[in-house]
Amino acid sequence: MQNILLAVLVAGLSVATVAQDISSGGPVVADYGKKIVGGDPTTAAIAKEVRHELLMLPWYSLFDDLEFNVDGRTVTLSGSLTSEHAVTSKDAKNVVKRIEGVEKVINNIEVLPPSPMDTRVREQATRRYHAPVGCRDTSGRPRPAFTSS
């Protein structure tokens, strides 16, 4: 009788361990390249596909913050988006809904209000990031071309 009770207890603990949820634990971009571990294989597969689909959204930018949590077959989306990319919230929910094995999607993504100052900072940061290395300067202006005399 004790052996049966012990076996039932161990089986119950192992089922409770398998029912773990998987979370991005921060921005999806920060997870890029990391292997998803934990939870049961179905949940891990769903989490891997959710992360991939969110990263592939066309208007997901450096200034947006998307996160997710997979609990069984329910995916909860969270984070914040710039107002210019508000459509990404709807797109994220739609692509996650189509993932095999997902039964329910909860969309808690917040769209931030527009801010002219933030837009200007984003534009400057983007220009600097994409400027050729030789043209970068602390003043933000391009350097004159080097000519030999």
If one counts every other C-beta atom within 10 angstroms of the C-beta of residue 112, the result is: 16
54-91 per-position pLDDT tens digit: 989 888 877 788 999 999 899 999 999 887 778 889 99
30: which residues sit within 8 A by CB, 6+ positions away?
Answer: 24
Higher pLDDT, 41 or 126: 41
What are the boundaries of each domain within the chain?
A: 18-135
2-45 per-position pLDDT tens digit: 444 334 334 443 333 344 677 766 666 666 566 666 668 888 89
Continuous segment of H or E residues that includes residue 52: helix 41-55
Phi then psi dihedrals of residue 110, to 5 deg: -100, 135
H helices, E strands: number in the chain: 4, 4
Rounded CA gap, 103 and 64, in Å? 26
Q: Kindly report the pTM of this predicted structure.
A: 0.63
In this model, does residue 52 exceed pLDDT 60? Answer: yes
Sign of CA dihedral 103, 47, 50, 92: positive
Quote the distance between the C-alpha of residue 1 and its chain's center: 49
